[in-house]
Amino acid sequence: MTSREWLGCITGIGLLMCCAFGGAHAAEPGRVIKDFHHTAWTLKDGAPAGIWVMAQTEDGWLWLGTSAGLWRFDGVVFERYDLLPEGSTAPRSVSTLFASRSGGLWVGYSYGGASVLEGGVVTHHGTKEGLPQAIPIETFEEDGDGRIWVGTAKGLYVLEQGAWQLADARWGFPAPDNTAFVRDRTGTLWASRDDGVYVLRIGARRFERVETDARPGASLHRTNEGTLWKYDDRGFSPLLGPDVPSRSATFSETASRYASPLLFDREGALWTVSCPVSLCRTETPYAFGQPFRGRALTGDTFSALEGLSSDVSMTLLEDREGNIWVGTKLGLDRFRRNDVMTVRFPKPLVYFALLPGEAGEMWAGTASDSPDIDRLWRLDPLPSLVPGFAGEVTAAYRDTDGGMLLAGRAGAWRFADGKVTPLPIPKKEEGVKVQAITRDGAGRLWMSFRASIVYRLDGDTWTPRGGIADLPELPATRAVTDEQGRVWLGYGQNTLAIVDGPTARVFSEADGLRTGIVSAILPGPDALVGGELGLAAFDGRRFRPLVATRPDVLTGVTGLLRTRDGTLWVNGNAGAVRISADDLRRALAEPGFQMPFKLFDMQDGMPGAAQQVRPLPTLVEGTDGKLWFAATNGLAWIDPERIHHNPLPPSVVIRSLIAGDRRHAPRADLRLPPLTRGLKIEYSALSLAVPERVAFRYRLEGVDDGWQDPGTRREAIYTNLGPGHYRFHVIAANDDGVWNEQGASVAFEIEPTFFETRGFLVLCVLAASGVLWLLYVLRLRQMTARVRQRLEERHAERERIARELHDTLLQGIQGLMLHFQVATARLPRGELREGLERVLDRADDVLVEGRDRVRELRASSGGMQDLADAFTTLAGEFGGNDAPAFRVLVEGASRPVDPLVADELYRIGREALFNAFQHADASEIEAGISYGVDALRLRFRDNGRGIESSILSAGRAGHWGLRGMRERAEKMGARLDILSGVGKGTEVSLSLSADRAYVPRAGDRWRRWMRRVLRLHG
C-alpha cells in the first residue's frame, strides 16, 4: 500500500466508520501499540524468515507459511512441518493458509496445488483432483455448507465430493475473475470481484450479485462485531443493503482464521502492515457507544526502532486468545494486550510519591535527585505538569481537609487550591529527607526522617517521639493512621509500634513479627503488615506469617491494599500480586494455608518490581477504582474491573519420546526397543498468550504414584525403566490457571530382551531348581558317606574288641581252666573234687557264652544274599519245636542293599525277632520287607502279649535291646517306630530313604525326581 493509499484508508475510516459503528464500544481510550506487550522472534530465536501468511487451527497451533515451506509454533519452539511426501521434489513455497471449522489446515502452494492436514492425515490436491496446473492458490474460504473455495488467477474453484470444479456461470459468475472472500457470522459467503459483490446463502448453489459499485482489487473484511467492509483504492466503505449483516454486540468470534494485511481486532481497532512505517494501529472513531462526530482520527505506528523484528511486515493475524501476530521479512512478532498500563512521562522518571485526587485523578511527586525534573504531576491518566512547584518529594499525605502535604530534602509544603504553602520542620532535621507523614486522631501531625526519629507537632513545637518514652529511638519507615485515630509506625529493625494517645505498644520478633523492614501497613480488624521478608497478619496480640503458593511473591512488600470486594493487592519484589477475598479469609482462618495468586509483572507491562525504601506506599487506589503502582522503572496502573481473563484451556500435545539417540513420534502402537532404560518425553501446551506461565502436571502410570509438578518445564525425564506397558499423561493450565484436565496421553511398551522374558525366567527357575537338586544330592552323598564311615569305624572297633577279648581274656581263662582241671584230676574223689568239677562246668558255660558274644561282635551280614533269607534263618535259630508260626512278606523287586546298611538292618531285625520269639509268647510272627522306589521299609509284627508302656517309652535298665534298635536307626538316618500295648502285640517298623539304603545304579535319582515332580503336579 502506498502512502497515498494509506491516506485514503485513514480518510475512508474517518468518513464512513462513524455510520457503521455508531453504538459500538471502542478500545481502551488512549491505548497505543506501546501499551501492548511486544515479543519478537527472529532467525537467532529459530523463527523462519519471510513469513507471508499465518493461520491458527482449532487445536491451537500457529502455522507459518514462508517461501521455504511450512512451520508451526507453540509459543516456545518453532518446528518445520512438511506436508509433501518424503523425497518429493515439488516446491514447498507456501502462498496461503486457511484453518477450516472442522480443524483442518489447508496449505496452498506458490507453484500450484494444495494439501490439507486433518486428524493427522495429509491429503494432496493437484491437477488430478481438478486444480489448475502451476497456478498459485491465492485464497481459501469455507461456506456455511462446509464447502472449501479457492481463488486463483484462473478463477474460483469449489471442492465437492473430492473433486475441484471451476465456479463458472453455473454458480452465477459470468466469467473467471479475481475474487476476494469473507464469511459472515451466519455462514453466508461473500465474494468481491471486479464487477461487484456477490453473496452465496446457506443451502444455495448460485451466487447473487448484491452490489455493482466495485473497483479492481477490492477486498472484503469482517469486523469483530460482524459487520462487513470493503476496501479498494478509495479506502474503506461499508457494505450496505438488506442482505448485509448488521453490527451485533454479542458476536465474539475472532474476525480472521487466517492472516491478511488488514485486520480488525476484537476491540474494533484496525491494524495494517501496509502503512509507511511498517505496522500501524488505528482506534475506531467512536468511544463507549457514542457516535463519532467530526473528531480527528488518530493513528499509531510501530517499527524496527521500537523493536519490531523487521520494518518489512507482511501479514497479520489475531489468535483465539486475542493476541495480534505480525509476520515480517526477518521473523515473527506478537502483541498482547496488557492489563498493566504504563504512564508515559516526557522524560524517564523514578521514585513516585502517590496521592489520589477527585474524579479518578492521581497526583505524583517525584524524587529523582535531579532538580530539573523533580516536579508534581497530575495524572488523568496522561501526565500533566503542575505549575508552581519544583523539588523532590519523598513523602506525601492526603490531609483530613483534602489538602496535600508534600515533603522532601528541601522541606515540607501544603498544596491546596493550586497554591503551595511551606510547612515548618524540626530545625535539627533540616536538609534530611522526610520518610513518612501522617496525622493522628487528635489532629496532631507526625513526621519521620531518614536516619533519625519520628516527631509530633504539638502546636508550633516538634516533640521527639511524641514525648512517648516507649517508642524506639529508630527511624520509622512507614506511618499510617487507622480509623480509631491510632498511629502505626513501622521500623527497619523488624519492629512495629502502635501509638494510642499517650501510650505505645511495641511489637518485635518475640510477638511473632518476622517481616524485617516494616514497609507496608494495612490497619483494620484483620491487620496486615508487609516488609522485606514477607507478609504477616495481626490479631491484636500476635503476628502470624501468611504464605502464597510461590513464597517469593510476598517479599519486598512496600504496598498493601484491599479493594471494596475484599481482594488483597500486594506490590513487592515479584510485581503486583492479586489474592482473592476468599483465599485471604481462608489464610486468616487456617495457619499454613498457601494462598493462590495472580501475578502482574513485566510480562503484563509492569515497569519492574515495587520501588523500595521511599517514597511509600507504592500502591494507591484512585477514586475511580484504578490501582496505581510505583515500580523501579516507572509508574503504572491497573483497572481491576477490566482485567483480561483467558478462559480457554490450552490444548496439550505430546511432541516426541526420545530413547537414547532415537526420537519417536507418539502413536497408538508405539514400541520402544529392548534395553530402553532412560526416556525423555517432550510435551507442550498451545496457549500463545503467555506460554512462559503455562503450568504442567504429568504422571507415568506404572512409575509415578501421583501427579508430578514440573512447573513450566516442557519435558519429563525417566531413568531405570524396565520392560513393560506404560501410559504417560500430561495436563496443563494457561496463564490464568484454567486447566485442561483431559490433557494428552500416549501408551507405549518397552520390549524385553530374551533375558527379560518369561521364558528366560522359567529357565532360570528350572536352572536354580537343578542347582538346588544337585546341592541336595551332593549333601545327601556327603551324609551317606559320613554314615558309612561311622559304620565302618564301629565295625572296625568291634572287630578290635572281639580280637582283644579272644586273644587275651578268653585265652587266659581257658588256660586257667586247664590248670584247674589238672589240679582237680589229682584230687581224690570226694566232696571237694565234685564241688570243683561243678565250678569248672560252670566256667565252661561262661567261656562258651563269652565265645558266643565275641562271635556276635565279629558277626556280619556282608555275606548274606538277601534280607528275607537272613530273617528266615534267624527264625529257624530262635524257634524250636513249639515255635510260633513265622512268615516273611516281600513287596517290590529285591534290590542290593548297601553292606553296612544291611548289617545294621540285620541287627535291628535280629533284635526284633529275638524279642518276639523269646519274650512275646506269640503264636504268629511276621516280617515284612518293602523295596520301594523312594525308601526301603521293614516291618516286624507279632500277636503276643505286648510291651508295657513304661518300658516302651523309657527303655529302662535290663531292656537295652529297644534302645539299641533306636540308636542304630538314628545313626543310619532311618525312622523307627515301635507300636505296642499290653495284650495287643508289637509292631516294629523302619523306613530308610533309597539314597541311603540301596547300592546306587544309573538313573535312580533322575527317576525319583521325575516321579516327585509328577506327583506334585497331580
Rounded mean pLDDT for each run of 10 residues along the chain, 1018 residues in total? 43 40 41 90 95 94 96 95 89 94 94 93 94 91 93 91 91 83 87 87 90 77 79 75 53 49 85 83 51 42 93 93 94 94 88 91 85 81 86 92 91 90 91 94 94 93 93 94 96 95 95 95 94 95 95 95 95 96 96 94 93 94 94 94 91 94 90 90 94 94 93 93 93 94 94 78 87 85 76 73 71 76 80 79 74 60 67 81 86 84 86 86 91 90 85 58 84 88 88 84 62 59
d(CA 156, CA 733): 43
pLDDT value for 287? 30
pLDDT value for 958? 46
pLDDT value for 718? 95
In contact, 143 and 202? CB cutoff 8 Å: yes
Q: Helical H runs in 755-862?
A: 758-804, 811-826, 831-858
In contact, 404 and 363? CB cutoff 8 Å: yes
The neighbouring-strand residues paired with 873 are none
- Which pTM value belongs to this model? 0.73
pLDDT value for 11? 40
What is the share, in percent, of the chain residues with pLDDT greater than 90?
52
* Close Cβ partners of 179 (under 8 Å, ≥ 6 residues apart): 139, 151, 155, 156, 191, 192, 193
pLDDT value for 844? 77
Q: Annotate 687-702 with DSSP letters as a single string.
A: --S-GGG-EEEEEEET
d(CA 575, CA 605): 10
Using the structure block, give the residue that is written with the C-alpha cell 532360570. Answer: 764
In the structure grid, which three cell numbers stand for residue 389, read together? 512547584
Entry field: residues in the chain: 1018
Number of neighbouring beta carbons within 10 Å of residue 22: 13
277-304 pLDDT, tens per residue?
789 888 754 332 333 233 333 468 899 9
Phi, psi (rounded to 5 degrees) for 844: -60, -40
Long-range contacts, 862-866 (Cβ 8 Å, 24+):
862/899, 862/902, 862/903, 864/902, 864/906, 866/894
pLDDT value for 906? 86
In contact, 6 and 281? CB cutoff 8 Å: no
pLDDT value for 864? 52
pLDDT value for 789? 77
Three-state secondary structure call for residue 760: helix
pLDDT value for 25? 37
Checking DSSP bridges between strand 313-318 and strand 324-328, what pairing results, if any? antiparallel
Q: What is the DSSP letter of 888?
A: E
pLDDT value for 1006? 62
pLDDT value for 28? 44
Q: Annotate 110-176 with DSSP letters as a single string.
A: TTS-EEEEETTEEEEESGGGTPPTT----EEEE-TTS-EEEEETTEEEEEETTEEEE--GGGT-SS-
For residue 563, give the amino acid letter: T
d(CA 962, CA 956): 9
Three-state secondary structure call for residue 667: coil
